[in-house]
């Protein structure tokens, strides 16, 4: 029996995006029932096709250029060639393309919702008020109208079930939990305490306040090390980070997404990890991937109160709570020196295995419906 073909499609996310490749694709491929085609932005890592996995990288383009809009036709042509039985669409930019494939190619379609685009545009200050208002309304209107044609939805956050009413009862929550190999049995503090910031490097995600924090405590704790690893899409932030030339700061940053192996290496080297998002309705009810990753790797989180993740971290004693904008250096250093991570917490709940079974069930159900 020939395996069912599943296409996972994106425009800006790399072809080896962690959720699409490491979680979805590898989970589905292990069943032996599916051939998965990954279509997305070129990766910095070269991948060879493997059993049940095919990579289809788009040609490199400037995300802010007109080339971005031309990728829809490129992806449509690739879908016609592949003739998938199921498409997992990972961006609102490809909703119409997915629906077109449903009617032209006869496939099922799932929308994997990784962001509440309306909230992100409305509550974050990435655009002027006029522009962000127009974009937010346009995207939400598009999702509301077009999502009626989708067979199912994957939701990366529990909060999306109540925020995105158009998903109705056709959804499965698949949180962005840590990869299984991040789990560690034993962890001891390094002789030189290492603090890390990983993931997307933006002002709203807190990279600048963490940089300021480390520069302030460095005077009192000269032995501390700060490692930064991630994707920096904002050129002004990039320039600011590149201008910081301190011996205690180590940077692995790129305008494009960096290989995930580098992120993993940095996490495993860490004693403390920063969770420093500037809270607003677009993120305060979410559970960032890095929270799962740090907890799995026994990296103590440095976090603020007020968000959903802070409640969980405080309840299970998995980090140190601070106010990033108003803190006493000596108080923090005393707390950090005496801090002991909670070894008794069951970390099996923060890894992808808890989600993978539900994903497989959903895919099988959709394909036979």
Number of other CB atoms surrounding residue 142 within 10 Å: 15
Phi-psi region of 167 (alpha: psi -120 to 50; beta: other; left: phi over 0): alpha
Considering the domain architecture, whether residues 304 and 218 belong to the same structural domain is answered as yes
Q: At what angle do helices 95-105 and 67-82 cross, to 10 degrees?
A: 20
Pick out the chain residues at pLDDT < 70. 1
Q: Report the pLDDT value the prediction gives residue 219, as an integer from 0 to 100.
A: 83
Rounded Cα gap, residues 29 and 38, in angstroms: 12
Rounded Cα gap, residues 354 and 175, in angstroms: 9
- Which CATH number does the domain housing residue 10 bear? 3.40.50.2000
Provide the number of structural domains found in the chain.
2
Q: Report the pLDDT value the prediction gives residue 218, as an integer from 0 to 100.
A: 85
Structure-derived torsion over alpha carbons of residues 113, 90, 102, 53, reported in degrees to the nearest 10? -130
Considering the domain architecture, whether residues 277 and 359 belong to the same structural domain is answered as no
Burial 311-349 (b: 16+ CB within 10 A, else e): ebbeeeebbbebebeeeeeeebeeebeeeebeeeeebee
Considering the domain architecture, whether residues 231 and 120 belong to the same structural domain is answered as no
Considering the domain architecture, whether residues 126 and 214 belong to the same structural domain is answered as no
Rounded Cα gap, residues 231 and 252, in angstroms: 9
Considering the domain architecture, whether residues 290 and 324 belong to the same structural domain is answered as yes
pTM: 0.93
Considering the domain architecture, whether residues 147 and 259 belong to the same structural domain is answered as no
Structure-derived torsion over alpha carbons of residues 346, 350, 351, 355, reported in degrees to the nearest 10? 120
Q: Report the pLDDT value the prediction gives residue 156, as an integer from 0 to 100.
A: 97
Strand locations in the chain (E)? 4-14, 34-41, 53-57, 86-89, 108-113, 152-155, 171-173, 194-198, 225-231, 249-254, 272-274, 300-303, 319-321
Strand locations in 64-170 (E)? 86-89, 108-113, 152-155
Predicted confidence (pLDDT) per residue in 50-81, tens digit? 889 999 999 999 888 899 999 999 999 999 99
Residue 125 lies in domain: 4-177+352-368
Rounded Cα gap, residues 194 and 190, in angstroms: 7
Of 157, 147, 153, whose CA–CA distance to 169 is shortest?
153
Considering the domain architecture, whether residues 156 and 262 belong to the same structural domain is answered as no
In sequence order, the β-bridge partners of residue 228 are 197, 251
- Strand 108-113 and strand 225-231: the pairing is unpaired
Q: Report the pLDDT value the prediction gives residue 246, as an integer from 0 to 100.
A: 83
Q: Report the pLDDT value the prediction gives residue 256, as an integer from 0 to 100.
A: 83
Of 330, 205, 340, whose CA–CA distance to 280 is shortest?
205
Q: Report the pLDDT value the prediction gives residue 339, as an integer from 0 to 100.
A: 86
Predicted confidence (pLDDT) per residue in 96-116, tens digit? 999 999 999 999 999 999 999
Considering the domain architecture, whether residues 162 and 197 belong to the same structural domain is answered as no
Q: Report the pLDDT value the prediction gives residue 293, as an integer from 0 to 100.
A: 97
Considering the domain architecture, whether residues 21 and 74 belong to the same structural domain is answered as yes
Considering the domain architecture, whether residues 107 and 200 belong to the same structural domain is answered as no
């Amino acid at each position: 029996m020939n395996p069912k073909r599943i296409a996972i499609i994106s425009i800006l996310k790399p072809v080896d995006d962690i959720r699409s490749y490491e979680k979805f694709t590898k989970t589905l491929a292990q069943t032996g029932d599916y051939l998965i085609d990954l279509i997305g932005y070129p990766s910095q890592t070269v991948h060879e096709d493997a059993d049940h996995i095919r990579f289809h990288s788009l040609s490199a383009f400037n995300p802010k250029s007109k080339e971005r809009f031309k990728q829809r036709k490129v992806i449509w042509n690739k879908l016609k060639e592949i003739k998938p039985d199921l498409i997992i669409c990972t961006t609102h930019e490809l909703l119409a393309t997915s629906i077109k494939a449903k009617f032209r190619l006869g496939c099922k379609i799932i929308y994997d919702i990784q962001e509440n685009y309306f909230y992100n545009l409305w509550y974050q200050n990435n655009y002027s008020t006029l522009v962000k208002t127009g974009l937010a309304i346009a995207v939400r209107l598009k999702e509301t109208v077009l999502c009626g044609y989708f067979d199912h939805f994957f939701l990366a956050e529990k909060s999306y079930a109540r925020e995105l009413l158009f998903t109705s009862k056709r959804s499965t929550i698949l949180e962005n939990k840590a990869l299984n190999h991040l789990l560690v049995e034993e962890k001891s503090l390094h002789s030189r305490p290492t603090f890390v910031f990983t993931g997307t490097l933006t002002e709203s995600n807190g990279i600048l306040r963490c940089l300021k924090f480390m520069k302030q405590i460095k005077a009192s704790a000269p032995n501390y090390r700060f490692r930064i690893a991630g994707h920096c899409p904002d050129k002004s932030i990039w320039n600011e980070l590149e201008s910081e030339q301190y011996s205690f700061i180590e940077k692995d940053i790129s305008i494009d997404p960096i290989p995930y192996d580098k992120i993993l290496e940095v996490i495993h080297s860490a004693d403390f990890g920063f969770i420093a998002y500037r809270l607003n309705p677009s993120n305060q009810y979410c559970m960032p991937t890095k929270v799962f990753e740090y907890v799995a790797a026994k990296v103590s989180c440095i976090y603020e109160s007020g968000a959903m993740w802070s409640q969980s971290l405080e309840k299970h004693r998995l980090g140190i709570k601070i106010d990033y904008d108003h803190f006493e250096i000596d108080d923090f250093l005393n707390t950090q020196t005496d801090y002991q991570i909670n070894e008794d917490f069951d970390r099996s709940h923060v890894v992808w295995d808890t989600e993978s079974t539900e994903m497989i069930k959903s895919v099988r159900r959709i394909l036979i419906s």
